[in-house]
Amino acid sequence: MTTKQVTRSTFDEVMVPTYSPSQIVPVRGEGSRVWDQEGREYVDFAGGIAVTALGHCHPVMVKALTEQANKIWHLSNVMTNEPALRLASKLTDATFAERVFFANSGAEANEAAFKLARKYAYDNFGPEKNEIIAFTNSFHGRTLFTVSVGGQPKYRIGFEPAPGGITHVPFNDIEALKAVISERTCAVVMEPIQGEGGILPATAEFAKAVRELCDQHNALLVFDEVQSGMGRSGSLFAYMEIGVTPDILSSAKSLGGGFPIGAMLTTNKVAASFGFGSHGSTYGGNALACAVAESVLDEINRPSVLEGVKRKHALFREALEAINAKYHIFKEIRGMGLLIGAELVEPYASNAKAFIGAGAEEGVMILTASTNTLRFAPSLVIPEEDIKEGMARLEKAIAKMVSQ
């Protein structure tokens, strides 16, 4: 079989139209710079949507991947493997958790989390305790259970009937949660920083009150840290930054630094409800994925890198404020660490997506969150020169947008 030349237009011929990707087709990356098929170079502020936490092709990841690739790739869950055991040991050493379940994505880590919360309540309190409370605008993935727990109906409409026993209340509104939580609640699920919803951090006060309400009603607190975790907040996980510890935590995105992996972390007590045969995944805990994630965790979980995230947050914020002082385009700049949102004022707020294309034309890759917010989720080790250069390019893009 001969291989034909592929271009962006091939996408429209052979892919299911679930995405509408950029006209750029990147072919190579190094650190926070990316090159496309035409040889044009970009500064990467998108990080593959908060995934490439060490930038592109970081030497420690390349080493871990190639070394493991020459040893053994896959064994299935009939046998365990050294990278999975090492990664699980390091994750439990570094967090509240005592047990780990590996999956391949954020949605799968959450699917495991929600199933475990149900099973724990079933085992300990009976089948009536099955209700899950989640928050408006939250995002937890695209499987049927995770779009149902997620608080954005647009991802659910057309796929019903959806799983039942799920209630949504407004985020950062403790009275709303108080009004619906009961002895039937098995779990409250939240993102410490809502990512897709628009980079909206939970207040520490809210998170503490949620924890207390969960304890009063024997409900588990599930933190979806798929986007906020693995150093992005400036702590290894955002729960550490907020000072509220969950019972179950899901991680993915930056955990693999670009290699697919997800993990669900929990305590001994809760993990006991995931007994032999109760859940599983063929690829979950794959040796290649775990070897890469181990190298990512080793690299990120160091004071110098985590302090760097906080310093770079300040650089991003200063640069965005300087742009705003000139163009008056942002209503609010918010977020934690290197997960930053800049909400646009009208008339730009309804067209945040246009800034992605405008940025690309000037050589900077950015993201949006919700419909009205520019999102920055770059490599946690992005060089300061790249922040400066990317911001100069972003300013050019914004100047063009404003003059239109």
Ligand X SMILES: *Cc1c(COP(=O)(O)O)cnc(C)c1O
Residue number with CB closer to ligand X (114 or 120):
114
Closest CA to 211 of 177, 183, 179: 177
CA distance 96 to 115: 20
N-term to C-term CA, the chain: 48
Q: Does 118 bind ligand X (CB under 6 A)?
A: no
Q: Are 319 and 325 in contact (CB under 8 A)?
A: no
Residue number with CB closer to ligand X (264 or 356):
264
Q: Which stretch binds ligand X (CB under 6 A): 52-60, 191-199, 212-220, 384-392?
A: 191-199
Q: Does 106 bind ligand X (CB under 6 A)?
A: yes
The CB-of-260 to ligand X minimum distance in angstroms stands at 8
Helices first, then strands: H and E counts in the chain: 14, 17
Q: Which stretch binds ligand X (CB under 6 A): 104-112, 329-337, 348-356, 394-402?
A: 104-112
Q: Does 187 bind ligand X (CB under 6 A)?
A: no
- 94-109 burial string, b = 16+ CB within 10 Å, else e? ebebebbbbbbbbbbb
**x/- track of binding to ligand X for residues 251-270 (CB under 6 A):** -xx-----------------
The DSSP code for 329 is -
Q: Out of 44, 111, 131, 191, name the contact with ligand X by CB under 6 A.
A: 191
Residue 102 token pair: 């590996």
The CB-of-344 to ligand X minimum distance in angstroms stands at 21
Q: Which stretch binds ligand X (CB under 6 A): 53-61, 88-96, 133-141, 385-393?
A: 133-141
CA distance 188 to 194: 15
Q: Does 105 bind ligand X (CB under 6 A)?
A: yes
The answer to the question of whether 142 is labelled as a binding residue is yes
Q: Are 336 and 313 in contact (CB under 8 A)?
A: yes
Q: Are 99 and 285 in contact (CB under 8 A)?
A: no
Contact set for ligand X, span 311-330 (CB under 6 A)? none
The CB-of-395 to ligand X minimum distance in angstroms stands at 28
Q: Does 140 bind ligand X (CB under 6 A)?
A: yes
Residue number with CB closer to ligand X (148 or 227):
227
Residue 257, C-beta contacts closer than 8 angstroms, at least 6 positions apart? 51, 52, 53, 54, 58, 61, 292, 293, 295, 296
Residue 256 token pair: 């693999």
The answer to the question of whether 123 is labelled as a binding residue is no
Residue 228 token pair: 């906020």
Number of neighbours of residue 402 by Cβ within 10 angstroms: 12
The answer to the question of whether 363 is labelled as a binding residue is no
Q: Does 227 bind ligand X (CB under 6 A)?
A: yes
Q: Out of 88, 219, 220, 226, name the contact with ligand X by CB under 6 A.
A: 226
Query: Which positions touch ligand X (CB under 6 A)?
Result: 105-107, 110, 139-141, 191, 195-196, 224, 226-227, 252-253
| Binding site listing for pyridoxal 5'-phosphate | 106-107, 139, 224-227, 282
